[in-house]
Amino acid sequence: MTPLEILGAAISGAPAPRIPVFCNLFEHGARELGMPQKTYYASGEHVAAGQLRMRARYGYDNVWSLFYVGREAELLGCQEILYSEDGPPNVADFVIKDYDDIAKLEVPDDLTAHPAWKETATCLRILREEVGATHPICAYLTASTTLPALLMGMDKWMELLLTGPADLRDELLRKCSLFYQREVAAYRAAGANVLLYSTPFGSTSFVGMKRFNAFSLPWMKRDLEPGGSANLVYYCGMAPFNNVIAQVREELGIGAHYISPMADLAEAKSIIGSEGLTCGVIDDIRLIQWTPQETRAEVRRLCEIGMVGGHFLFGTGVMPLGVPEANLRAMLAAAFEFGRYP
């Protein structure tokens, strides 16, 4: 079976030889191609080459069309990205510097005509041509309730959300939701088939249950309304969300859940069961310090919990550049070994 078929089997519950093994190596691609990140990320050809080389070297199942998270802010007017050779790029220029900028924020009618999309489209085209028939192609999309953090900074967004004028907050959210709707349509049309819906405000670690129901859920429904929830994976930026999985499934129709390493995987699995896909995620920050033996033991633990009854995927979180090569290899070897079905 191809990795794409293995993923399909994990979702449907059909027999498969093993679980899907997903990994995200982003800045590693620049290092592999021997170029500064700024040069690497300037070209969709570079990013596609980096993704293909990383996948070929380590043998995991997926590739990513994501450059860096701030890319979405660039599509909305961000002019400056802070690059680092040690970690992911950051938004250095907030599009919304004061509340007056909310009215000026424009969501492009056709995202695919935007210069910042051009390189993403090139990357997706190459990935689709090279591995699209056999391997999942992932995209990263930020929910309307979280996108403002990329546009104005998290503390300013929290301030607007919790104490600011409701009309301005809602105007910003409407624009962010419209952006999401257009972005997800563009990614689907370009061939991305695993869509990570990044929604930290969809976790009660960010807002309490009352605000989750009154604020997060309605805006997430609005995000998903036109395009639907097909191929979406619910992800809260590594924050736990076991207590809302049932609601997310019932009210948003999202069946795949990227479980926080800080959450109880067994509990998540028992909630999701065979109704969806449980993604068991390793704490890859600790992966920096672990030994290969400790890494192997942790992967085994996750597989033993998650594989019962099928419908399980092994995945990674932020995959820092500081993870030693030996641990990266130990993690993937263990995922393929313990991820085999009898």
Partner 1 sequence: MLDRIVKAYNEAVFETDKEAAFDVVYAALADGMRAEDIVFKVVIPAIEEMMSNITKDPDANLAQHFMTAQIAAAVTEKMLEKFEHPPEIIGRVVIGTAQGDLHSLGKRIVMGCLKALMVEVTDLGVNVAAEKFVEEALACDAQIIAVSAMMVHTASGEMGARKVRQILHERGLEQRIKLVVGGAPYRFDNELYKTVGADGWAADGINAGRVIVNLIKEVKAT
Question: Which residues form the interface with partner 1 (CB under 8 A)?
Answer: 82, 84, 86-88, 90-92, 153-155, 158-159, 161-163, 204-209, 211, 238, 243, 261-262, 283, 285-286, 288-289, 318, 320-322
Least Å distance, CB 203 to partner 1, is 8
* Alpha-carbon span 299 to 278, nearest angstrom: 15
Which one, 204 or 231, has the nearer CB to partner 1? 204
* Alpha-carbon span 298 to 287, nearest angstrom: 10
Which one, 103 or 262, has the nearer CB to partner 1? 262
Which one, 44 or 88, has the nearer CB to partner 1? 88
Give burial (CB, 10 Å; 0-12/13-18/19+) of 203.
buried
Least Å distance, CB 26 to partner 1, is 12
Least Å distance, CB 282 to partner 1, is 11
Which one, 38 or 340, has the nearer CB to partner 1? 38
Least Å distance, CB 253 to partner 1, is 25
* Alpha-carbon span 48 to 191, nearest angstrom: 14
Least Å distance, CB 88 to partner 1, is 7
Which one, 82 or 189, has the nearer CB to partner 1? 82
What single string gives the DSSP state of each residue in 145-179? TTHHHHHH-HHHHHHHHHHS-HHHHHHHHHHHHHH
Q: How far is CA 330 from the centre of its chain?
A: 23
* Strand, coil or helix: 302: helix
**Which residues have CB under 8 Å from 253's CB, separation 6+?**
224, 228, 229
